[in-house]
Structure 1
């Protein structure tokens, strides 16, 4: 048949008898203001939940019903519902029971899974699952009225639950008819949807380990079956990845780990991380309605069965809270260093170079938080860097402790006095400012002397090196101090013998 023909189901047939009488029954329900679909966050509806059914909105013969998932008509509705059965009286102002597709009590074509799949497709692609503006644009009728969109959707549902052919109905307006055919074109071309296709999940888990201020608090792990979710934190705080890099909270994906950046915080506190996905799992739930308040609907005795649809503004959310302790002592991190030759533990290095170890002591760090120590050897003579660097990334188990940083000194520094400068960073990202440092050019504890090589003679300490204590006792030559002048007895005897010999030879020459 020509789907645009004027023949087919009449308006009288679509609105006659028990359907019209049942639709007019509103038991104490309050009609909502005609402001459209609520932007309320849809609460999950699980099988067995009691939901409150509000008064029908739309044209006389077709309509949509506001649904409150809490079972109490309070505030904006969470969902809306369309009728599944054409010839069963509808009841409102009472509680219905939510269920899956198998809970359907009616006897029409909706019991066929293929038909139910078409109905689910219509729900997912019509108003209010799609905004009125977007639905009108998709249907080729921009500016479609809300009642026309509702009529088109309800007739499209009944086309599958009551008929086995594409029939024209008695339309209120041409826009309603155009939107109806748009839905049928899509549903007929589709294999249909399943409840699984309409699932929307969004959740987040909090870190299980104890957390502390002055660190990256986390990880919070996000789970969702959507392409992405939006994340928010209350109170607001910067959210980063494990390296401390801020993340885009509008496109967080499944499995992503998030951290609260509390590196600058010292006080105890708490926060709640929330993830939000567009859409709701409640779409497609079947509502079985009793014929009397407090009654139990059965296959033999029930009012109009309905099917839920979530508005395009519906959201599925999950949240997790975390507490963190105050930064231990709430004191600033402090570091100190002690530099020695790795070979023998003293502060003298061979003229050909070698490895020196700087033991960095730290205080007031946050256990369980990653830090990095970065150091460079400086020339004491002019305070300039040598380019000899070292670093260590570590995670302390206590607030105070030590960590070693190694430096490899190559040849070419014989006779130099080298001083280790160290900086402490939070995490492994070195682009920011260090949180502590130790850069005292005159600190003997972070100083080593590289032996000088005397021309044609043995390697000797640099005579210009300062005298500093060594771990094993004794002193090293110090820059600016007098050179040692002690002469041994053997050296003095050798000197006198030489003088006497020269005199003897001079006398022999004179004779």
Structure 2
């Protein structure tokens, strides 16, 4: 059974939540399938489905007749519309009559459950066919007549329920379609969202006293301060957040708001006399009016994605793998066997260059124990000796010093290192 009025979701941009506005299903101008009438032969109710009927399953809505003197046609598709699209010429053209009909629809079966309707009408245990008959006669009382007729009651229960409906409708000016429609929307944050935070806000807007919100996959809901919220008791204008404070990885979730009722009740269906034809004022079958069952709900959805900490390489002390020439920070001498902290080295997939550490800045010149990544350069920086040069046993120290200085000026750090290794062997 499709009892929900499901909203469509807008295009999702990574890291950004997409909110959806409520759209009625079926929408005005759309078509629905009208099934075989149920109940007593002369006063039945029509099952109405947005798609083709699904066997014995429950329909999306039900419908009563609002044109007594026009023949009904079933197993055909009709067109949904507002009251302004009505093609008939009886008393339903009067806005006051429409309000009376809406009052009857919203206070009878199946807008109320059968047991609930029977209790309200003073007829506990009323049969379904009697509840349907009472409702249909009450509708015709206003669309066809300006007085109470002596209808052909099947049972005393049917008549008692009818009297209850007429008394209530006469005592009330009656609702408008806007009064009976459930309005629901769910706004979502448009900025990129981050794991390890409260993701939001999502804001509920509804004309119903209570809205339920679910998240798939399941995530706890909080307010802006991180206090837990009851997901089954949210209210109009309430802001909510997904509690992702313990989440480190990227992900996404679908947030669904659900409110009781729908926007279907009171919409009319214009029916053609020939399948596939367009009904007109001069040529149409019996017009029917929709009523959503008590179980109907209206839904609004939003989809959100969030970035995980691993996406920017800042979590867990790791480094972002390199796909080109890698660079490494110069180690601080004395911290390990190879002059690095933690005894580890960073694998390199290409030529390596060295950056000198910043004194006092930590293991790699950064705070928080992270490893700073140097920017690769076409010309390598000259190496800085760790101590005095080894003597070669020659008295030509001045010449060697002069050569070293010249090499440094010329950027010959590699030759300088070679010279130093030869001296060590001397």
Q: Do both proteins adopt the same fold according to a TM-score greater than 0.5, normalized to the shorter chain?
A: yes
1:156 to 2:138 alignment = yes
Work out the CA distance in 2 between the residues paired with 1:39 and 1:322. Answer: 25
Matched ranges for 1:277-426 at <5 A: 277-328=259-310, 329=313, 331=315
Counterpart of 1:129 in structure 2 is 111
Counterpart of 1:178 in structure 2 is 160
Give 3-state SS (helix, strand or coil) of 1:319's partner.
strand
Give 3-state SS (helix, strand or coil) of 1:137's partner.
helix
Counterpart of 1:56 in structure 2 is 37
Counterpart of 2:129 in structure 1 is 147
Please report the TM-score for the alignment, with normalisation by the length of structure 2: 0.68
Work out the CA distance in 2 between the residues paired with 1:138 and 1:330. Answer: 64
Is the contact between residue 133 and residue 143 of structure 1 (CA under 8 Å) also seen in structure 2? yes
Displacement, 1:73?
2.1
Give 3-state SS (helix, strand or coil) of 2:193's partner.
coil
Work out the CA distance in 1 between the residues paired with 2:116 and 2:316. Answer: 56
1:115 to 2:93 alignment = no
List alignment gaps of at least 5 residues for structure 2.
6-23, 318-365, 369-426
1:65 to 2:46 alignment = yes
Please report the TM-score for the alignment, with normalisation by the length of structure 1: 0.57
1:262 to 2:244 alignment = yes
Residues 9-40 of structure 1: CA deviation (Å, up to 9, x unaligned) = xxxxxxxxxxxxxxxxxxxxxxxxxxxxx573
List alignment gaps of at least 5 residues for structure 1.
1-37, 334-399, 403-511
Displacement, 1:295?
1.0
Displacement, 1:330?
6.7
Counterpart of 2:416 in structure 1 is none
- Of 230, 233, 257 in structure 2, the residue corresponding to residue 275 of structure 1 is 257
Runs of 4+ that moved beyond 4 A: none
Give 3-state SS (helix, strand or coil) of 1:267's partner.
coil
Q: Cα 1:156–1:211, aligned 2, differ >3 Å: closer, same or farther?
A: same
Residues 382-407 of structure 1: CA deviation (Å, up to 9, x unaligned) = xxxxxxxxxxxxxxxxxx989xxxxx
Counterpart of 2:219 in structure 1 is 237
Displacement, 1:82?
0.2
Structure with greater strand percent: 1
Residues 266-286 of structure 1: CA deviation (Å, up to 9, x unaligned) = 111110110001001111011
Is the contact between residue 267 and residue 330 of structure 1 (CA under 8 Å) also seen in structure 2? no
Counterpart of 1:218 in structure 2 is 200
Is the contact between residue 44 and residue 280 of structure 1 (CA under 8 Å) also seen in structure 2? no
Displacement, 1:290?
0.4
Residues 176-211 of structure 1: CA deviation (Å, up to 9, x unaligned) = 111101100100000122111112111212211111
Count of matched residue pairs: 298
Is the contact between residue 141 and residue 179 of structure 1 (CA under 8 Å) also seen in structure 2? yes
Work out the CA distance in 2 between the residues paired with 1:269 and 1:120. Answer: 46
Work out the CA distance in 2 between the residues paired with 1:282 and 1:295. Answer: 23
Residues 300-323 of structure 1: CA deviation (Å, up to 9, x unaligned) = 111000000000000000010101
Work out the CA distance in 1 between the residues paired with 2:297 and 2:48. Answer: 16
Counterpart of 1:203 in structure 2 is 185
Work out the CA distance in 1 between the residues paired with 2:143 and 2:216. Answer: 46
- If asked which structure has higher relative contact order (CA below 8 Å, sep 6+), I would say 2
| CA RMSD across the alignment | 1.7
